[in-house]
Amino acid sequence: AIALAGCSRDAGKQVGQVTVGFSQVGAESEWRTANTASVKSALVAPGFDLKFSDAQQKQENQIKALRSFIAQRVDVIAFSPVVESGWEPVLREAKAAGIPVVLTDRAVKVSDASLYASLIGSDFIEEGRKAGRWLLQDSTGKPGPIRVVELQGTVGSAPAIDRMKGFHEVIDTDPRFKLVRSQSGDFTRAKGKEVMEAFLKAEGGHIDVLFAHNDDMAIGAIQAIEEAGLTPGKDIRIVSIDGVRGAFEAMKAGKLNATIECNPLFGAQLAQLIRDVHAGKPVPKRIVVEEGVFTQDQAAAALPGRKY
Ligand code: GZL
């Protein structure tokens, strides 16, 4: 019995402990950092043995991590797919190895939905709609044309595809809005600033609104707008998504007009989902995280209570 207890598969693993392999997108934004903290606080805990990997926003690193988790024969694999496509082969390998997969935050495009047990995360199309509805409401009484530039998230990622879809579903109904530029800033402050600089050079002072798929790109763009001698939040109204602390600080300073909350703090829900999947219990295919909308006038009061 003693020899068996020491065998390689379960060395150091307590009875009843769930070994989880988690592949995170990277550390590209404040949102991602908060999400990692939430996942780790829930899974670096009794009952779990967490193997965590950061992919630096590269799909090949995520696929390598998933293959490593399969080789280590973890009990459950969880990951936030950096892009929607290209996952079928490795997900089939996980299925063949009998290892259930949980998607967190972002979706995948696969022909066989049985390749993953559940997706827990936000409804990005609705987040895009909320940004569009805020812009419509904030443009009441304003004449056209209202010239809009858009900083897209990571090319091919579910949030970038869906936020764009939801935003345009709403504003394309109003002929005053003209989308003059739309390009990816890869969800980072640095790239957001760089692309906004290019937009400003190309469009001069003829930009009325910036829609950024996340707050980090909006914060980078705010720097570019100021360096161009314009006033963010006034000369160019800005709406972005995530609701991170930096966005509340920018709104408090009058430089950002609204942020659509995208809640990263689903670690505890994920832990319960993983327990249920491991126990073979039926789980919902889609778990949507609840979230709100925050505007400039609410920022100062809301800031102290923000958890990320
Ligand atoms: C959204 C998440 C996005 C955030 C970005 O759930 O996938 O990735 O909006 C992050 O800040 O980089």
Q: Give the CA dihedral 238, 241, 246, 247, nearest 10 degrees.
A: 40
**Which helix (H) or strand (E) is 2 found in, with range?**
helix 2-5
- Quote ipTM for the complex: 0.98
The burial class, CB within 10 Å (0-12 / 13-18 / 19+), for 87 is buried
Q: Residue 132, SS3?
A: helix
pLDDT confidence of residue 11: 56
Taking all residues of the chain, what is their mean pLDDT, rounded to a whole number?
95
Residue 31 alpha carbon, nearest atom of ligand 1: 11
Quickly state the pLDDT bin for 9 (edges 50, 70, 90).
Answer: very low
pLDDT confidence of residue 3: 42
Question: What is the distance in A from the centroid of ligand 1 to the CA of 69?
Answer: 24
Rounded CA separation 130/133 (Å): 5
pLDDT confidence of residue 2: 42
pLDDT confidence of residue 13: 67
Q: Which residue has the higher pLDDT, 204 or 207?
A: 207
pLDDT tens digits, one per residue of 102-143: 999 999 999 999 999 999 999 999 999 999 999 999 999 999
Residue 43 has pLDDT above 60, yes or no: yes
Residue 122 alpha carbon, nearest atom of ligand 1: 6
Task: Find out whether the peptide bond into 100 is cis, omega within 30 degrees of 0.
Answer: no
* Residue 266 CB neighbour total at 10 angstroms: 20
Residue 166 has pLDDT above 50, yes or no: yes
Rounded CA separation 159/90 (Å): 22
Quickly state the pLDDT bin for 277 (edges 50, 70, 90).
Answer: very high
pLDDT tens digits, one per residue of 168-190: 999 999 999 999 999 999 999 99
State which of 25, 29, 152, 241 you would mutate to test the pocket of ligand 1, scoring each by most atoms of that ligand within 8 A of its C-beta. 29
Would you state the structure tokens that stand for residue 203, as one six-digit string? 């469009």
Question: What is the distance in A from the centroid of ligand 1 to the CA of 188?
Answer: 10
Residue 276 has pLDDT above 70, yes or no: yes
The proportion of the chain whose per-residue pLDDT surpasses 90, expressed as a percent, equals: 94
Protein residues whose CB sits closer than 6 Å to any atom of ligand 1: 28-29, 31-32, 105-106, 121-122, 159, 187, 214, 216, 241-242, 262
Question: What is the distance in A from the centroid of ligand 1 to the CA of 214?
Answer: 7
Question: What is the distance in A from the centroid of ligand 1 to the CA of 202?
Answer: 27
Question: What is the distance in A from the centroid of ligand 1 to the CA of 10?
Answer: 35
Residue 158 alpha carbon, nearest atom of ligand 1: 7
pLDDT confidence of residue 7: 42
Question: What is the distance in A from the centroid of ligand 1 to the CA of 12?
Answer: 35
Quickly state the pLDDT bin for 8 (edges 50, 70, 90).
Answer: very low
For 143-194, strand residue ranges (E) read: 146-152, 177-184
Q: Is the pTM of this model over 0.80?
A: yes
pLDDT confidence of residue 213: 98
Quickly state the pLDDT bin for 5 (edges 50, 70, 90).
Answer: very low
pLDDT confidence of residue 260: 98
**Which helix (H) or strand (E) is 118 found in, with range?**
strand 118-121
Residue 10 has pLDDT above 90, yes or no: no
The proportion of the chain whose per-residue pLDDT surpasses 70, expressed as a percent, equals: 96
pLDDT confidence of residue 15: 75
Q: Which residue has the higher pLDDT, 204 or 113?
A: 113
**Beta strand 237-242 pairing with 209-212:** parallel
Question: What is the distance in A from the centroid of ligand 1 to the CA of 106?
Answer: 8
